[in-house]
Amino acid sequence: MSAKILDGKALAARLQTEMAEQVQTWIPQVGRPPGLAVLRVGEDPASAAYVRGKERACERVGMASFGQHFSAEAPPSQLLDTILRLNQDERVDGILVQLPLPPGWDPIPPLLAIEPDKDVDGLHPMNLGRLLRGEPGLQSCTPLGVMRLLQTEGIPLSGKQAVVVGRSILVGKPLSLMLLAADATVTLAHSRTPDLADVTRRADIVVMAVGKPNLLSADMVKPGAVVIDVGINRTLTPDGSSQLVGDVCYEEVKEVAAAITPVPGGVGPMTVTMLLHNTLESYRLRNRRGNGCSL
């Protein structure tokens, strides 16, 4: 029996509709919509496509977009100056630097420059520290999207064995902390993990986030496990065209797993939606403090 398909695209559309209604409720009291600034450096086509998708999502929910594009030849100080200005801009509730930056650009200074309460990507050390301590704060969008998808689908986490493959600061590490907070027993595996198949076969929940096409095969999955595929890889087909695939051998693993996310249409749409969610949360919190809104 094939696995249940966890449709992140459908859930994202529903959540965005709900957010659009909430935005319209807040605007008359605040006097402006929520604002998001996505900052892109260089000409990477994938980054450009991701930014366009985020800007279109802003439009759908009624948020203002303050994005800017910088040349890869621009001095890094230009990006830092823009971030500092946006920190002080009352129209802007969220700031995101689109990663990866071009070669030669250090991502750490711009990420540190973002005001933590406007850090809607959840990558500032203060927000990562809040996550580690179990305190309220803005959380990384992709892990947050995975958790929202699991919770909405009613997939139990408490007491379950969860394996996260990939230890990046963007996905693997924060997601492991979120799963721990949900009372799962978490193993964080990576490229140096010996006998990865033995580790994943013991898991009730497997999350793949390594960026290696079709790494997880059916013989690496316990029957009835839940498989979450965060990977997005562009590969060539025999006819020379390209296609997007995940880190999971989808067609074979779906015959073993109880539930699985597709690529595309699984985690990706949830990442963008959680970016909007974080922007809206920042907007609400800032205006509750500043304007005494009651909502």
Q: Which residues are catalytic?
A: 54, 98, 121
Is 5 a known ligand-binding residue? no
Q: How many CA atoms lie within 13 A of 133 on its CB side?
A: 10
The CA-CA-CA angle for residues 205, 216, 209, to 5°, reads 65
Three-state secondary structure call for residue 139? coil
CB atoms within 10 A of CB 16: 18
Is 288 a known ligand-binding residue? no
Q: What's phi and psi for 196, nearest 5 deg? A: -55, -35
- Whether the Cβ atoms of residue 226 and residue 259 lie closer than 8 Å to each other: yes
Is 168 a known ligand-binding residue? yes
At 219, list the tokens: 């013989």
At 96, list the tokens: 């995101």
Q: CA 226, CA 234: separation in Å to the nearest integer?
A: 24
Q: CA 205, CA 258: separation in Å to the nearest integer?
A: 10
Q: Which residue has the tokens 């909405």?
A: 152
Nearest to 44 by CA among 234, 226, 246: 234
Q: CA 148, CA 151: separation in Å to the nearest integer?
A: 5
Q: Which residue has the tokens 């439009």?
A: 59
Is 167 a known ligand-binding residue? yes
Q: CA 96, CA 252: separation in Å to the nearest integer?
A: 37
Per-residue burial over 181-197, b = 16 or more CB atoms within 10 Å of its CB, e = otherwise: ebebebbbbeeeeeebe
Question: Beta strand pairing status for 4-5 and 259-260?
Answer: parallel
CB atoms within 10 A of CB 242: 9
Q: Which residue ranges are tagged as binding site?
A: 166-168, 232
Q: Which residue ranges are tagged as binding site for NADP(+)?
A: 166-168, 232
